[in-house]
Amino acid sequence: MEYGCAHYRRRCLIRAPCCNGIFNCRHCHNEAMNANEADPSKRHDLPRHKVERVICSLCGLEQDVHQVCSGCGVSMGDYYCSICRFFDDDVSKGQFHCDSCGICRVGGQEKFFHCDKCGCCYAVALQKGHSCVENSMHHNCPVCFDYLFDSISDITVLRCGHTIHSECLREMTLHAQFSCPVCSKSVCDMSSAWERLDQEIAATPMPDAYRNKLVWILCNDCGGSSEVPFHIVAHKCLHCYSYNTRQTRRSASSPPISSNSSPSSSSSPDSSSSSQSLY
């Protein structure tokens, strides 16, 4: 634990196959060659699987990738993955290699499962309850635009199945943004907020000129269309009672629910859950 960098504790350096530079780890390389590189043409990431040479931190011998130094015999990392060329002394992270993902992850293999449709490892708590979105992790975070699949930051799987950095989601909620940036579905249980809107609408009668005005709305949560009384505050979906709606034209694809009809009972959606931070 005496050697390494801010990202990993290890007893070796790696030689980057892309630029022939020597770095503590791939993150150190990427920070130096992206964030700190003024010339855009020279910016690039290190291909982790192509690392072929490492340098022992104790004896300085450069050699092929192995867990044990061929010069002084020291173990370069208590955890070692020959596929990812990954070394780490801090085994408390619970590192494991996922063959389906093709990379190493942290958090303990027994606590995660690989979803083939989503294309990523999720916490076992989501195994029977998450909404599958094809390759949901193989894209950028919709807030900060960093690539999610191999991010080292915690990631949250929203109830709609889309994924986002947990910190980005927290920043969204601090700014009163509670809908998915991708599909606009609510990211959490909003029933208490809907109750407050019920009270506010009841306490704010519309002027006579608008009292009988009707508008068509589309619900972002259930996808249903409804014709409801116009109100300046918000419009309530008659299918699922959500106020996460938008004004629209009448939908011809699905039968509407009139404002005079009784709404169907709404189902309680699953709460969002977090996936592990990734190597």
Identify the CA nearest to 85 among candidates 196, 175, 8.
8
In terms of domains, do 11 and 84 share one? yes
Q: How confident is the model at residue 264 (pLDDT cuts 50, 70, 90)?
A: very low
Residue 273: inside a domain: no
Mark which of 58, 92, 126 sits at the end of a domain. 92
What is the model's pLDDT at position 251? 56
Domain presence at residue 258 = no
Mean pLDDT of all residues in the chain? 88
Same domain, 108 and 160: yes
Range of the domain at 194: 190-247
Q: Residues 91-95: what's their mean pLDDT?
A: 94
> DSSP of 159-180, one letter per residue?
TTS-EEEHHHHHHHHHTT--B-
Given a cut of 80, whether residue 23 has pLDDT beyond it is yes
Residues 87 and 9 placed together within one structural domain of the fold = yes
On whether residue 31 sits in a domain, the answer given is yes
Answer whether residue 259 is part of any domain. no
pLDDT at 18: 93
pLDDT for position 277: 43
Cα–Cα distances in Å, from 230 out to 42, 216, 235, 262? 56, 9, 7, 18
Residue 7 burial (10 A CB sphere; 0-12, 13-18, 19+): middle
Task: Based on the fold, state whether residues 147 and 227 are members of the same structural domain.
Answer: no
User: What angle (nearest 5°) sits at the alpha carbon of residue 173, between those of residues 35 and 273?
Assistant: 85
Q: Tens digit of pLDDT for each residue in 195-213?
A: 999 999 999 999 999 989 9
Q: What angle do CA 71, 67, 45 make, to 5 degrees?
A: 110
What span, in angstroms and rounded, lies between the C-alpha atoms of 268 and 238?
15
- The pLDDT value given to residue 42: 84
- Please check the confidence at residue 28 and state whether its pLDDT lies above 70: yes
Residue that finishes a domain, picked among 120, 152, 175: 175
- What is the rounded CA–CA span in Å between residue 46 and residue 24? 12
Residue 36 belongs to a domain: yes
In this prediction, residue 241 carries a pLDDT of: 95
Q: Would 231 be classed as within a structural domain?
A: yes
Read off the CATH number of the domain in which 238 is found: 2.20.28.10
278 has pLDDT over 70: no
Cα–Cα distance list, 265 to 36, 120, 147 (Å): 55, 34, 39
If one counts the domains in the chain, the total is 3
Residue with tokens 């309530």: 236
24 assigned to some structural domain:
yes
**110-128 pLDDT, tens per residue?**
999 999 999 999 999 998 8
Highest mean pLDDT among 36-50, 51-65, 243-257: 51-65
Residue 25 and residue 70 in one domain: yes
Are 198 and 216 part of one and the same domain? yes
Number of C-beta neighbours around residue 78 at 10 A:
16
Q: Which of 92, 118, 139 corresponds to the end of one domain?
A: 92
The pLDDT tens digits for 131-163 are 999 999 999 999 999 999 988 889 999 999 999
User: How far does Cα 95 stand from its chain's mean position?
Assistant: 19
